[in-house]
Amino acid sequence: MTENTPDPAQNPLVVFTPSGKRGRFAVGTPILQAARSLGVDLDSVCGGRGICSKCQIQPGVGDFPKLGLHVTADALSPFNAVEERYDRIRGLKAGRRLGCQATVQGDIVVDVPAESQVHKQVIRKAASDRAMVMDPATRLAFVEVAEADMHSPTGSLERLREALAAQWQIGDVTLPPALLARLNPLLNKGKNRITLALYRQPDGSHDILDLWPDLHEGGLYGLAIDLGSTTIAGHLCDLTTGAVLASGGLMNPQIRFGEDLMSRVSYAMMNPGGAVEMTAAVQEALDDLARRLAEEAGVDTAAIYEAVVVCNPVMHHLALGIDPVDLGQAPFALTTSSAITLPATGLGMHLNPQARAYMLPLIAGHVGADAAAVALAEAPHKAEALTLIVDVGTNAEILLGNKEHVLACSSPTGPAFEGAQISSGQRAAPGAIERLEIDPVTKEPRFRVIGCDLWSDAADFAAQVPQVTGICGSGIIEAVAEMRMSGLVDASGLIGSAEATGTPRCRPTGRTHEYLIFDGSASGGPVITVTQADIRAIQLAKSALYAGARLLMDEIGTDTVERIVLAGAFGAHISPKHAMVLGMIPDAPLEAVVSAGNAAGTGARMALHSVAARREIEAQVHRITKVETAISPRFQEHFVAANAIPHATAPFATLRSIAPLPDPSFNAGGGGDGENGGRRRRRAR
Amino acid sequence: MTENTPDPAQNPLVVFTPSGKRGRFAVGTPILQAARSLGVDLDSVCGGRGICSKCQIQPGVGDFPKLGLHVTADALSPFNAVEERYDRIRGLKAGRRLGCQATVQGDIVVDVPAESQVHKQVIRKAASDRAMVMDPATRLAFVEVAEADMHSPTGSLERLREALAAQWQIGDVTLPPALLARLNPLLNKGKNRITLALYRQPDGSHDILDLWPDLHEGGLYGLAIDLGSTTIAGHLCDLTTGAVLASGGLMNPQIRFGEDLMSRVSYAMMNPGGAVEMTAAVQEALDDLARRLAEEAGVDTAAIYEAVVVCNPVMHHLALGIDPVDLGQAPFALTTSSAITLPATGLGMHLNPQARAYMLPLIAGHVGADAAAVALAEAPHKAEALTLIVDVGTNAEILLGNKEHVLACSSPTGPAFEGAQISSGQRAAPGAIERLEIDPVTKEPRFRVIGCDLWSDAADFAAQVPQVTGICGSGIIEAVAEMRMSGLVDASGLIGSAEATGTPRCRPTGRTHEYLIFDGSASGGPVITVTQADIRAIQLAKSALYAGARLLMDEIGTDTVERIVLAGAFGAHISPKHAMVLGMIPDAPLEAVVSAGNAAGTGARMALHSVAARREIEAQVHRITKVETAISPRFQEHFVAANAIPHATAPFATLRSIAPLPDPSFNAGGGGDGENGGRRRRRAR
């Protein structure tokens, strides 16, 4: 049937586009069969029975000089009864044929349209959405099973296996015992025709996750979840198309056990049963999120067959019910670092009873599956330019490298960037200040809130924004950076007095000052200020972030990077200029800094939609050099030096050429407010 | 290291007995390592660390002319400190060495004693006990895991996998997510030494079922269960030694839904939720039996890691929660016929949480895993003689064949042989009549009851047997056969009157007669008789049995068989002569009839102890020809002809030469008692 066959006249040439794959096939060979034998990506649910219409193709007619082919109109068999019936009932686009019905009659060029490809790329509109390569672990397969024969008595499952081998070339199929009871009733109902949801294992074997009588074309859905220390974000996706049907998030309820990871590890160490309590809390939240997303999308949770979860090592262990106590002390022994597939119920999620959960591999004791997901999404190992990727969260994941070499570390930034530990902080939600500017002369602020495109000094603003509620993560970054650029805060992070700054908005509170952004008290709303404690929290967070990046740069002996990617749940919303004014990231030309959105979440979606992506990151993590921040003396040095805004010693020359960085000093005494450097990260013990 | 190595002086020859395996090894090679590289069966739990002492060997010294070897006393390294310490603390038999400590120094002959072999044969004393080949799926492995290293951060599970690969040559190991939480605490407690219970999958991969800190030598236990329609029998076995620690049984609680299989299928058809109800009942009974056996043996149910269950197809489906309705009508479509491994919880058994259950393959819609177990135990496919195997139960399994060809069928005998449907019937328990003789002249009976070796006419009998309670299966067979031989019952099965038989023990009851065996009413005990209805029940049962055997004989065109094996829960207790007088089995010389005990139970134990046995029967069932009795007109003919005692047409010439078969006729009218032939088996619908 291939080009080796002697008589070309009896074995016309079939060329598939866009793949370019080609081969000779006997006259009468269905196009679907030719595609399969060449490994051409042509979809089919019904396995070639003219039922599902997934295998539509577009034959080309005429001259194809590049291919040296002249294709005549009779190169394919004529439209047959199955196609006519399908066209009449459901409609076929002009020129389209069903690949399982049209047979080879002469040399032919066959185009496989994007919607007929299994591994189709789905292009999303929103900037933060990535083209998804579809190669899902779970897919539908329709089979026709031989009738039971008393004289050759095998079980229905055995006849189903034979049918899968013959019709789908799929061997080694397992039907979970819990589904056995449904097999015969469904075969009886569907007159021995049945549709399966098949889950492909890494070893090529398949598990049956669900089954329906006759042809079933309903949806298969999956969840991609970024399980952070402070927030849990999830996407409900269509496993066939890659479409995101619902997105949402909620606070990690473990916050009540400790705001950062190490305080949760401490909680587990100090309280018998503490780890179990935290596991229950996070599993309940995962289940809750799944239910909410399903409700929003109008999807039955029982139609969700897969969940991919990315998270840092402590969240990973707690989600799995593993006491994270060993992660609180050197050598930070992970219980398992490999990618893990388990029943979704193992994470407390009540999806389809057979649903699988996949957790990406961990990179090291403090560098988690979230970092692996960022690596999958941003692929530093494929980059030409030396790229620094900073995934901002309560625990930041930092990657540095290019195709030569990739390093990774994590840094305990704390929850300030997520609006926690900030006096007027809140999570990103309508009413939260997300952008802020301060006039360098008048020192008056103006801002924008989530849910409205107007600035606060616009005439319509009050009418359109019923309530200003607080400041979210990107808002506080801009607020502190703008205060620094407008001279309200000095390099050490002190807020000046009204006298020193020339604005009554800088007002005393206790021994320090705060800057008034918005006073809603007249209408019963909040008074929103940036306090000295807020500045300190941001300084601690940004120092940790910078110190981690700097440690990786030390490792490969560089002072500059060529490209900076800001990622994180709110990564798309961080202003590169303001991030650099704060000194969150190293000095670099602004155009070299890009926002990647929630890279960990994107990586989770990529893994949800593609087993090839899972295999890629499983292989890749072994090639990443892990750098441990918790025990590095240099990390401590970098952390202290990075406390200043933007930095005590690094010149930030590029930044200074584009942003005003006035140099007041509000430290009257010398001991300052006593806070600077007085607080230390707690981590290793 | 093998015979290819150039210098024999540096590479002495090592010969292992009893296997005869041999090879050349470098001086200094430990004997355990040599054994492993040759595939010699030498046990070790600790993997060669001198801890477990399972690898004891017995070196031979002197001349071995057959091997052409002279072995000197220094052919092994001297007793070392590890061996001395072991000998001091736990004692080593004279001449014994630890295979992991003794190293090759010169040509040597090494005997592996039986107790050091993994695949040791365990010889049981009781007649019904079979030598078990030990090749269990679950075994212990001790490993030393590398310490966690922060600079090369892999998880503990990954380091455990590396250790298993290096120390046990075991790759592809899965730790169930539910056990992940225990890994690090146990590694910490055992200072990175850990013992695993490893379960070997058919594909050679392993699952970790349990884990303990440091070296653990506790027991691994398993259950072999014969799940019959009327009784459930189980053995609790030691998976390391093959020893049976406890045996017991209980009534199948499904009896309340119907005494035979087809009435249970009917129950499922007629009552919504009926199948679910029957599943719950049988699963509860299985769990109950497991708990009772564990209690009796003083074993924690959590130390039971495997259960093997054999049963007929209806019980198989009901135990798995599958509605058996399709088994009630042609084509009798099984949901699955393959061997199945599932979590023991899938059968409702609460053993170790990770315990696996294995169910043998089914042969056909009416020929079950119990028949497969009988085939495994009795191996007709290896026999020279044409062998008929009859597994007596409520549903009889019948196999006929030899190494050329094996056929199988099942026959719905009903529960009469198990003492049910018999007026004074009871299950085999102390006080039940199990043997019975009738004096041919006086027509007086004497009997023996379970639990006492005396006959009832012995002087001490009344003193030793406080209560005669009823008749068990083997007792009713002997009673009816003896009544036939002493002329109390005619060939049609009618009981004669006192006048016709000459004994007042034959007394009228309604329109028929009964024979009085025992009157305990004076002391408040039962009156035990054999009624006309009892005879009819036995006739129906034995006709079904004979007709099934006869159908198989027809298939291969024979009127005689060379060997008959009586098996069943009480197979060992059936008297061959009485069985033949009844016409349960075809005519044959008495010495050709043997009792095999509970062959299905033996097959279950063989499968429990040996994965090779599982693979053998999985392959063998495909070579067995299935014969369907339910739809065969010939079966009906044979059934009717077999109603007479012993048979209406078959001469039973061999039997007549050894047993009196007087020929009275008690049928005064012609319609008889109206029962004969008036009842019909119900089965196919």
Per-residue pLDDT, A162: 95
| Range list of H helices, B486-624 | 498-501, 532-556, 576-582, 599-609, 611-620
- Structural contact between residues B189 and B196, judged by C-beta atoms closer than 8 angstroms: no
> A589 φ, ψ to 5°?
-60, 140
Per-residue pLDDT, A46: 78
pLDDT above 60 for A458 = yes
pLDDT digit string, tens, across residues B333-379: 999 999 999 999 999 999 999 999 999 999 988 889 999 999 999 99
- Structural contact between residues B52 and B168, judged by C-beta atoms closer than 8 angstroms: no
- The share of chain A scoring above pLDDT 70, in percent, equals 94
Best mutation target among A336, A338, A625, A629 (most B Cβ atoms within 10 Å) is A336
Give the integer Cα–Cα distance in Å for A282 and A317.
11
Per-residue pLDDT, B211: 97
Which of B322, B332, B628 is nearest residue A180 as measured by Cβ atoms? B322
- Nearest CA-CA distance, residue A480 and chain B, Å: 37
Mean pLDDT of B459-485: 91
SS3 B553: helix
The superfamily (CATH) of domain B221-372 is Domain of unknown function (DUF4445) (3.30.420.480)
SS3 B566: strand
HSE (side-chain half, CA atoms, 13 Å) at A10: 5
- Structural contact between residues A320 and A309, judged by C-beta atoms closer than 8 angstroms: no
Which of A149, A322, A363 is nearest residue B180 as measured by Cβ atoms? A322
Cβ of B181 within 8 Å of Cβ of A320? The answer is yes
How buried is residue A299: exposed, middle or buried, by Cβ count under 10 Å (0-12/13-18/19+)?
middle
Chain A residues within an 8 Å CB radius of B342? 177
| Secondary element (H or E) of residue A60 | strand A56-60
**Residue A35 DSSP label:** H
Best mutation target among B173, B180, B624, B626 (most A Cβ atoms within 10 Å) is B180
Best mutation target among B334, B362, B624 (most A Cβ atoms within 10 Å) is B334
Amino acid at B639: F
Which of B151, B155, B342 is nearest residue A335 as measured by Cβ atoms? B155
Which of B155, B338, B628 is nearest residue A155 as measured by Cβ atoms? B338
Give, in words, the CATH class of A137-213: alpha beta
pLDDT digit string, tens, across residues B478-517: 999 999 999 999 999 999 999 999 999 999 999 999 999 9
Residues contacting B471, CB < 8 A, separation 6+: B419, B422, B424, B425, B426, B432, B433, B436, B479, B517, B528, B530
What residue in A sits closest to B331 (Cα-Cα)? A150
Topology of the domain comprising A222-359: Nucleotidyltransferase; domain 5 (3.30.420)
Chain A residues within an 8 Å CB radius of B365? 150, 153
Give the integer Cα–Cα distance in Å for A292 and A349.
12
- Structural contact between residues B414 and B371, judged by C-beta atoms closer than 8 angstroms: no
pLDDT above 80 for A3 = no
SS3 B545: helix
Cβ of A346 within 8 Å of Cβ of B188? The answer is no
Mean pLDDT of B549-566: 95
Cβ of A335 within 8 Å of Cβ of B184? The answer is yes
Per-residue pLDDT, A116: 78
Task: Tell me the pTM.
Answer: 0.80
Per-residue pLDDT, B531: 96
Cβ of A320 within 8 Å of Cβ of B180? The answer is yes
Best mutation target among A184, A211, A279, A362 (most B Cβ atoms within 10 Å) is A184
- Structural contact between residues B263 and B239, judged by C-beta atoms closer than 8 angstroms: no
Mean pLDDT of B206-233: 93
pLDDT above 70 for A60 = yes
What residue in B sits closest to A184 (Cα-Cα)? B335
- Structural contact between residues B539 and B643, judged by C-beta atoms closer than 8 angstroms: yes
| Range list of H helices, B91-155 | none
Cβ of B180 within 8 Å of Cβ of A151? The answer is no
Chain A residues within an 8 Å CB radius of B183? 335-336
Cβ of B150 within 8 Å of Cβ of A332? The answer is yes
Residues of B in CB contact (< 8 Å) with A are 147-151, 153-158, 175, 177-178, 180-181, 183-185, 188, 320-323, 326, 330-338, 340, 342-343, 346, 362-365, 626, 628, 631
Cβ of B150 within 8 Å of Cβ of A628? The answer is yes
Chain B residues within an 8 Å CB radius of A148? 326, 331-333
> B648 φ, ψ to 5°?
-75, -35
How high is the ipTM of this complex? 0.79
Mean pLDDT of A42-50: 78
Give the integer Cα–Cα distance in Å for A498 and A518.
16
What residue in A sits closest to B364 (Cα-Cα)? A153
Give the integer Cα–Cα distance in Å for B395 and A263.
65
Chain A residues within an 8 Å CB radius of B330? 150
What residue in A sits closest to B326 (Cα-Cα)? A184
pLDDT digit string, tens, across residues A646-679: 999 999 999 999 998 998 999 765 444 444 433 4
Cβ of B323 within 8 Å of Cβ of A184? The answer is yes
- Nearest CA-CA distance, residue A402 and chain B, Å: 21
Residues contacting B515, CB < 8 A, separation 6+: B479, B483, B488, B495, B505, B506, B529, B530
Give the integer Cα–Cα distance in Å for B95 and B113.
12
Q: What is the CA radius of gyration of chain A?
A: 30
pLDDT above 50 for A5 = no
b/e map B662-682, b = 16+ CB within 10 Å: eeeebeeeeebbebbeeeebe
Pairs across A and B, CB distance < 8 A: 140
Query: Among A225, A227, A219, A226, which Cα is nearest to A243's?
Result: A219
Per-residue pLDDT, B570: 65
Phi-psi region of A46 (alpha: psi -120 to 50; beta: other; left: phi over 0): alpha
Give residue limits of the domains in chain B: 13-116, 137-213, 221-372, 379-412+555-603+623-655, 416-536
**Residue A190 DSSP label:** T
Mean pLDDT is lowest, of A351-355, B385-389, B408-412, B641-645, for B408-412
Which of A148, A155, A335 is nearest residue B180 as measured by Cβ atoms? A335
Please report, to the nearest 10 degrees, the dihedral formed by the alpha carbons of residues B446, B451, B453, B459 taken in order.
Answer: -60
pLDDT digit string, tens, across residues A296-338: 999 999 999 999 999 999 999 999 999 999 998 888 899 999 9
Q: For residue A407, how many other CB atoms are within 10 A of its CB?
A: 19
What residue in B sits closest to A156 (Cα-Cα)? B335
SS3 B666: coil
- The share of chain A scoring above pLDDT 90, in percent, equals 60
Cβ of A153 within 8 Å of Cβ of B364? The answer is yes
Strands A356-359 and A340-343: antiparallel
- Nearest CA-CA distance, residue A325 and chain B, Å: 10
Residues contacting B189, CB < 8 A, separation 6+: B213, B214
- Structural contact between residues B598 and B397, judged by C-beta atoms closer than 8 angstroms: no
Which of B153, B336, B342 is nearest residue A334 as measured by Cβ atoms? B153
How buried is residue B608: exposed, middle or buried, by Cβ count under 10 Å (0-12/13-18/19+)?
buried
Give the integer Cα–Cα distance in Å for A551 and B426.
83
b/e map A600-625, b = 16+ CB within 10 Å: bbbbbbbbbbbbebbebbbebbeebb
Per-residue pLDDT, B571: 62
Give the integer Cα–Cα distance in Å for B609 and A276.
38
Chain B residues within an 8 Å CB radius of A364? 153
Cβ of B155 within 8 Å of Cβ of A183? The answer is no
What residue in B sits closest to A154 (Cα-Cα)? B337
Give the integer Cα–Cα distance in Å for A150 and B598.
29
Give the integer Cα–Cα distance in Å for B194 and A372.
30
Give the integer Cα–Cα distance in Å for A520 and B562.
103
Cα A114–chain centre separation: 24
What residues does A509 pair with on adjacent strands?
A512
Chain A residues within an 8 Å CB radius of B555? none
HSE (side-chain half, CA atoms, 13 Å) at A422: 31
Cβ of A158 within 8 Å of Cβ of B337? The answer is yes
How buried is residue A590: exposed, middle or buried, by Cβ count under 10 Å (0-12/13-18/19+)?
middle
- Structural contact between residues B621 and B533, judged by C-beta atoms closer than 8 angstroms: no
pLDDT above 50 for B680 = no
pLDDT digit string, tens, across residues A234-286: 999 999 888 899 998 888 888 888 878 888 898 998 888 899 999 999 999 99
Give, in words, the CATH class of A13-116: alpha beta
Give the integer Cα–Cα distance in Å for A637 and B351.
56
Mean pLDDT is lowest, of A99-108, A475-484, B425-434, for B425-434
Q: What is the CA radius of gyration of chain B?
A: 30
The CA-atom distances, in angstroms, between B137 and each of B205, B239, B300 are 11, 9, 20
- Nearest CA-CA distance, residue B280 and chain A, Å: 14
* Secondary structure, 3-state, B331-393: CCCCCCCCCEEEEHHHHCCCCCCCCEEEECCCCECCECHHHHHHHHHHCHHHCCCCEEEEEEC
Best mutation target among A154, A340, A627 (most B Cβ atoms within 10 Å) is A154
- B517-521: which pairs have CB atoms within 8 A and are 24 or more residues apart? B517/B424, B517/B433, B517/B436, B517/B445, B517/B447, B517/B471, B517/B479, B518/B433, B518/B445, B518/B447, B518/B456, B518/B468, B520/B467, B520/B468
Fold match between domain A13-116 and domain A137-213: yes
The mean pLDDT of chain A is: 88
Cβ of B180 within 8 Å of Cβ of A321? The answer is yes
Mean pLDDT of B544-564: 95
Per-residue pLDDT, B126: 39
Query: Among A139, A191, A147, which Cα is nearest to A170's?
Result: A139
Helices (H) and strands (E) in chain A, counts: 17, 31
Residues contacting B601, CB < 8 A, separation 6+: B224, B226, B233, B235, B310, B373, B569
- Structural contact between residues A170 and A141, judged by C-beta atoms closer than 8 angstroms: yes
Give the integer Cα–Cα distance in Å for A293 and A249.
9
- Structural contact between residues A229 and A569, judged by C-beta atoms closer than 8 angstroms: no
Cβ of B185 within 8 Å of Cβ of A150? The answer is no
Q: Where are the beta strands (DSSP E) in A374-524?
A: 387-392, 396-402, 405-411, 432-438, 445-449, 470-471, 506-509, 512-519
pLDDT above 90 for B527 = yes
The mean pLDDT of chain B is: 88
The CA-atom distances, in angstroms, between B194 and each of A338, A664, A683, B353 are 20, 63, 30, 19
Best mutation target among B326, B336, B338, B618 (most A Cβ atoms within 10 Å) is B336
Give the integer Cα–Cα distance in Å for A293 and A237.
10
Residues of A in CB contact (< 8 Å) with B are 147-151, 153-158, 175, 177-178, 180-181, 183-185, 188, 320-323, 326, 330-338, 340, 342-343, 346, 362-365, 626, 628, 631
- Structural contact between residues B186 and A324, judged by C-beta atoms closer than 8 angstroms: no
